[in-house]
């Protein structure tokens, strides 16, 4: 079964949902026997020099976008692409239509929520030590030590 493939160059980070993609070539391809729709191996009749900069593809028949992991020349004029589905770009519309409420909680801090804040804890025990050689002038320094509060004075 042959289907249309849009071979492209992805200029964005792999973990971005909306990618900056430059189309290189639209061509017909066939699936290699015993392959999956998630990690397809696709054969295309073209010259290897035409696709040497390709790292991304769209297959509208599958409604999916793929990262190209490997390009291999099988013989003169036959090229094999090993791919992996780009889930973020494939399902970008569905992901963007989801709604959710995100809020910050003062007492239930979530390490997995990157909100640009850094939470620190302060204990009542403060120990001041004099450094024998002092500090250079004109430089502000802060030293923080992590550990249990029962450290010796």
Specify whether domain 2-95 bears CATH 3.40.30.
Answer: no
> What tens digit of pLDDT does each residue of 86-130 get?
999 999 988 888 877 666 655 666 666 666 666 666 555 666 667
Closest of 61, 62, 67, 64 to residue 81, by C-alpha:
67
Distance CA 50, CA 116 (A): 44
Where in the chain are the domains? 2-95
Residues of the chain with pLDDT under 50: 153
The pLDDT assigned to 75 comes to 87
Are the C-beta atoms of residues 7 and 54 closer than 8 Å to each other? yes
**How far from the centroid of its chain's Cα atoms is residue 71's Cα?**
21
């Amino acid at each position: 079964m042959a289907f249309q493939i849009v071979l492209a160059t992805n200029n964005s980070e792999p973990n971005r949902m909306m990618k900056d993609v430059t189309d290189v070539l639209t061509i017909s391809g066939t699936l290699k026997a015993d392959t999956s729709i998630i990690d397809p191996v696709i054969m295309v009749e073209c010259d290897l020099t035409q696709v040497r900069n390709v790292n991304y593809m769209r297959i509208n028949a599958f409604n999916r976008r793929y990262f190209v992991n490997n390009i291999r020349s099988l013989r003169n004029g036959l090229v094999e692409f090993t791919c992996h589905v780009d889930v973020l770009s494939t399902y970008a519309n569905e992901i963007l239509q989801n709604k959710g409420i995100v809020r910050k909680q003062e007492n239930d801090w979530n390490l997995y929520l990157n909100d640009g804040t850094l939470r620190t804890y302060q204990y009542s025990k403060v120990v001041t030590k004099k450094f024998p050689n002092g500090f250079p002038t004109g430089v502000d320094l802060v030293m923080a030590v992590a550990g249990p509060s029962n450290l010796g004075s």
